[in-house]
Structure 1
Amino acid sequence: MKARDLVILGGGAGGLVVASVAAQLGLKVTLIEKADKLGGDCLHYGCVPSKTLIHAARVASLMRRGPEFGLPACEADVDLGKVADHVQSVIERIQVHDDPERFRSYGCEVLFGMAAFINPRKVQVNDQVIRGRRFVIATGSQPFVPPIEGLQDAGYLTNEDLFALRDLPRRLVVLGGGPVGLEMAQAFARLGSQVTVVERLPHLLPQEDPEVADALRTQLESEGMVIHVATTVERVSRDGYTTLVGCSEGLTLETDALLVAVGRRPVVEGLGLDMAGVVHTEKGIPVDRRQRTSQKHIYACGDVCGPYPLTHMAEYQAGIVIGNAIFRVPKKTDYRVVPWVTYTDPELARVGMTEQQARDTGIEPEVLRFPFQDIDRAITDRETAGLAKLVVHKKKILGASILGPHAGELIHEIALAMKTGANIGDISATIHAYPTLAQVHRRTVNTFYGKKLFSPGTRRLVKWINRLVP
């Protein structure tokens, strides 16, 4: 039986970060991954393939938009098989960074197979039993498939098989108006599918500011997508090659393919967590601010413990684990400033509180807005849809929502301001290069100062100064 300093279950983003650092520091590390490749969901079925597909779809959209730029229109003849090959080539290029031999060169043992605890100090994988001083559970999440009548028999797609499609469906119904559903819906619409989105709640992206989410809906519908909100899917059936999606209010949708994107659930089954004495529920593994489970020598990070199912949060939590499990420093998580992005076009980026969330805490915020249609760089690029929205209290930024071109890049200036305690005056005083999209930040905060600058009181003061001072 092997004895190891650190045993990691899961070879996704969080597990790989911990394994890399621990092994290079000289610890005896074993990394166990149930799939046949490292990289996790993000590399193979999530962030990487989806963003690659989204960009390919954007290129197809730009080809059609040639006349907007004084160029001829060009209708893209989409071969989804070739697009899928392109997506796979990008995965393979990034996969090099997650090559098992790279980690083995650090001294990390890499094993493939399903690992399960047999007691709080031991796991079994294949025919091996491994004893560890400390453990990290980083098994991620998987698509949640709701118990809809007939769904299993009719068949459906999730993000785990969507990118393997070789033929473009003429019609596609997407269940779920969250980030994954909307990103894939728009991508397939731009590639040529007739796309319908069904969301059971009153707004798309229910975690986002409703004003901004509704603005995104308007943009998506302008591209030809059909969107049904406050609509529940009640049953699914097959009629030959057609899938029938029966919804509330008597609505029936006919489609050639059905994508289920209604959320994710943590992977906790089959890990032997009861044998390890690790408290868990169907919502995941509860951890403290040091990422420790109910067994203090067993840590967890990433989607399996939440609270944010985001790759960058798995990497952040892995850093917390490294501090506590390796350096034995009581490092704690801080979720006050967490940015995230929905990669539609335009992108929707968010950090901190919405205006309603601020009010729910008893704060009456100042809300500042500025449209991209008045940003010169957005005009030159013909990407004027969207707005920046800041939630401010006593000149401090409580949160921001940005719907616009490259919003995922733009959000980080606001995140840094919030993290460092800078106020909106600091943003206003910062010189922003012209013409850039980042000018939207300065223009947004200057709507606050503009009210004061051109107020009747300021006008009287200026007249008084000019009378007294020659």
Structure 2
Amino acid sequence: MTPIHVDVAIIGSGTAGTAAYLSARAHTESILFIEGGDYGTTCARSGCMPSKLLIAAAEVAHQARHADRFGIQATDLVVDGPAVMTRVQRERDRFVGLVLASVDAMPSGVRWTAKVSFQDANTLVTPKGQLIHARRIIIATGSKPTLPPLLHGLDKHLLTSENVFELPTLPKSLAVFGTGPLGIELGQAMSRLGVAVKMFGIGGGIAGIRDTGMRDYANKIFNDEFYLDADAKVESVSETATGVAVTYQHKDGSRIVEEFDYVLAATGRDPELAGLALENTGLQLDDHGVPLFDRYTLQCGDSTIFIAGDASNDIPLLHEAADQGRIAGDNAGRYPNVVPGRRRTPLAIVFCDPQVASAGIPLKTLNQHFLGRFATGCASFEDQGRSRVILRNKGMLKVYAELNSGVFLGAEMFGPGAEHIGHLLAWAAQKRLTVDEMLEMPFYHPVLEEGLRTALRDAKHQLDSGSAVVDQGMDCGPGG
């Protein structure tokens, strides 16, 4: 076979790989876009979009089931499991189709379908021996679900994000392992659709919430809906003829053996790097087998290899993968003129109810590098005007601002409308607005964003006087 020679080879056709291709193409037409499996993105196939479709159905069922709070009787509620999953799959396939159409629009000579591994830092080889010599290579192979040892050995009744959306109907019962963002989203959605759900976590984490008081509050709210033990003691998990038996210590101290139709492993994702033979590249790898890289250039060491997206094990979010792909593609295309790319303010959202959002500098980083140098402004949504009107009055918001300068540093929220308020907070952090400047912005009435104003006022009081404000303020009244 005649060896192939290109300027840039991109391994992986997901969000990061596609962004890398578009960016590298500005510098060279000599590109090979390599995919060893299905073309498309995790987001469209098994991540963002199908999960949100399931959540949307769950929200409708939940609102109908609790319509009596508004004086409305919605009787004889029926959740049609096959119909719910049919819509999830139909709309999921539509999103996947849109992604595939963009791939199909690429020149046919650019695409190459095969698994590849590194023969050396500038040479890839297929299982059939085809050699690909590339001056620069971008690794954008994505990630795969993590399966903890406790769940090894399960087969027909094991679900992950890769196959849960293929179910023909909703199960009757489900044990969810993992109380992070994915586990909370899918566990709550299944529960609201009538599935008997129990959730088991490790280490006490819930939905990625960093503030301990907020996490304790969220734990209580979620447990009002379904059983959740964020630091569970599970003895064993074994497959039976009809499902999965889970032996665990109940929160009340009793030992329980309970059978579920399925187990859902929502225990994170690992970079998909197996089979690449990275040991042949000469790159320095971390403890997880990921090449060490500069997160602003995406260059691995001083090599001609770049890494982007979930494969980098940095921030596994779609918008971050797109940014990384763009930076890696630009630098691979312009090499050796490697330049730092622009990274945006961190923003993360969990689509549970109440929603979770974090923006700006994470609380852990603040406590490490700003300890004693930032003020915290707080607001509760339990008595917030708009929240009470729509009966979504559960949640809290904490904002962080630098002492002396008053610059807004970041925030964490567990509450209604967090997906929207989170964006406002991320924009403010990226523009380095001060608390005073944020309070000068318009706040309509009555809206959820008035809760943000309350938190900012609390932060301002501390910035001005060094003590927390006692009166949280009114959403309506003299001066708003």
Query: What TM-score does the superposition give when structure 2 sets the normalisation length?
Result: 0.87
Alignment of 1:171-320 (within 5 A): 171-205=173-207, 208-223=210-225, 225-247=226-248, 250-280=255-285, 281-289=287-295, 290-294=297-301, 296-320=303-327
Question: Shift in Å at residue 58 of structure 1?
Answer: 0.8
Q: Is the partner of 2:312 in helix, strand or coil?
A: coil
Distance 1:71 1:283 in 2: 56
Which of 428, 431, 434 pairs up with 1:420? 431
CA contact (8 A) 1:64 1:75 kept: no
Distance 2:376 2:289 in 1: 34
Report the equivalent of 1:157: 159
Q: Is the partner of 1:373 in helix, strand or coil?
A: coil
Distance 1:230 1:253 in 2: 18
- In the alignment, residue 447 of structure 1 is paired with which amino acid? D
Q: Is the partner of 2:92 in helix, strand or coil?
A: helix
Gap runs ≥5 in structure 1:
456-470
CA contact (8 A) 2:359 2:429 kept: no
Distance 2:261 2:147 in 1: 19
Report the equivalent of 1:433: 444
- In the alignment, residue 322 of structure 2 is paired with which amino acid? E
Question: Shift in Å at residue 356 of structure 1?
Answer: 5.7
Inter-CA distance 258–27: structure 2 relative to 1 (3 Å threshold): same
CA contact (8 A) 1:28 1:107 kept: no
- CA offsets per residue over residues 11-69 of structure 1, 9 Å max, x none? 11100111133346652221112223x22222111111111111111111112122233
Distance 1:396 1:445 in 2: 11
Question: Shift in Å at residue 325 of structure 1?
Answer: 1.8
Query: Is the counterpart of residue 403 in structure 1 residue 408 in structure 2?
Result: no
- CA offsets per residue over residues 42-101 of structure 1, 9 Å max, x none? 211111111111111111111212223332224542232222221222222222432256
Q: Is the partner of 1:148 in helix, strand or coil?
A: helix
CA contact (8 A) 1:80 1:165 kept: no
Instruction: Select between 226-235 and 166-175 the one with higher mean Cα deviation.
Output: 226-235
Distance 1:72 1:320 in 2: 54
Distance 2:218 2:170 in 1: 25
Q: Is the partner of 1:196 in helix, strand or coil?
A: strand
Report the equivalent of 2:366: 358
Question: Shift in Å at residue 10 of structure 1?
Answer: 0.7
Distance 2:11 2:152 in 1: 35
Q: Is the partner of 1:99 in helix, strand or coil?
A: helix
Inter-CA distance 39–211: structure 2 relative to 1 (3 Å threshold): farther
Distance 1:424 1:108 in 2: 53
- In the alignment, residue 308 of structure 1 is paired with which amino acid? I
Which of 367, 376, 385 pairs up with 1:376? 385
Distance 2:165 2:214 in 1: 29
CA contact (8 A) 1:372 1:384 kept: yes
Gap runs ≥5 in structure 2:
467-480
Question: Shift in Å at residue 102 of structure 1?
Answer: 4.6
Number of equivalent positions: 454
- In the alignment, residue 29 of structure 1 is paired with which amino acid? I
Inter-CA distance 346–106: structure 2 relative to 1 (3 Å threshold): farther
CA contact (8 A) 1:136 1:301 kept: yes
Inter-CA distance 33–176: structure 2 relative to 1 (3 Å threshold): same
- CA offsets per residue over residues 411-442 of structure 1, 9 Å max, x none? 12211222121111111111122333223222
Inter-CA distance 451–399: structure 2 relative to 1 (3 Å threshold): closer
Question: Shift in Å at residue 384 of structure 1?
Answer: 1.4
Instruction: Select between 293-302 and 198-207 the one with higher mean Cα deviation.
Output: 198-207
Alignment of 1:120-139 (within 5 A): 120-125=121-126, 127=128, 128-139=130-141
Distance 1:89 1:150 in 2: 31
Distance 1:279 1:207 in 2: 32
CA contact (8 A) 2:7 2:28 kept: no
Distance 1:331 1:381 in 2: 49
Question: Shift in Å at residue 335 of structure 1?
Answer: 6.1
CA contact (8 A) 1:265 1:283 kept: no
Report the equivalent of 2:330: 323
Distance 1:236 1:419 in 2: 45
Question: Shift in Å at residue 183 of structure 1?
Answer: 0.6
Distance 1:118 1:100 in 2: 32
Q: Is the partner of 2:311 in helix, strand or coil?
A: coil
- CA offsets per residue over residues 223-253 of structure 1, 9 Å max, x none? 2x00123223332123432421123564433
Instruction: Select between 138-147 and 284-293 the one with higher mean Cα deviation.
Output: 284-293
Percent sequence identity over matched residues?
Answer: 26
Question: Shift in Å at residue 283 of structure 1?
Answer: 5.0
Distance 2:93 2:156 in 1: 32
Report the equivalent of 2:43: 42
Query: Is the counterpart of residue 89 in structure 1 residue 96 in structure 2?
Result: no
CA contact (8 A) 2:177 2:265 kept: yes
Q: Is the partner of 1:377 in helix, strand or coil?
A: helix
Inter-CA distance 157–376: structure 2 relative to 1 (3 Å threshold): same
Distance 2:7 2:277 in 1: 20
Note the aligned Cα RMSD (angstroms): 2.7
Distance 1:70 1:331 in 2: 61
Instruction: Select between 384-393 and 434-443 the one with higher mean Cα deviation.
Output: 434-443
Question: Shift in Å at residue 165 of structure 1?
Answer: 1.0
CA contact (8 A) 1:154 1:236 kept: no
Query: Is the counterpart of residue 21 in structure 1 residue 23 in structure 2?
Result: yes
- In the alignment, residue 235 of structure 1 is paired with which amino acid? S
- In the alignment, residue 176 of structure 1 is paired with which amino acid? G
CA contact (8 A) 1:104 1:110 kept: no
Distance 1:91 1:192 in 2: 22
Distance 1:122 1:293 in 2: 16
- CA offsets per residue over residues 173-201 of structure 1, 9 Å max, x none? 11111111111100100111111111121
Inter-CA distance 207–450: structure 2 relative to 1 (3 Å threshold): closer
Distance 2:311 2:454 in 1: 40
Distance 2:409 2:235 in 1: 39
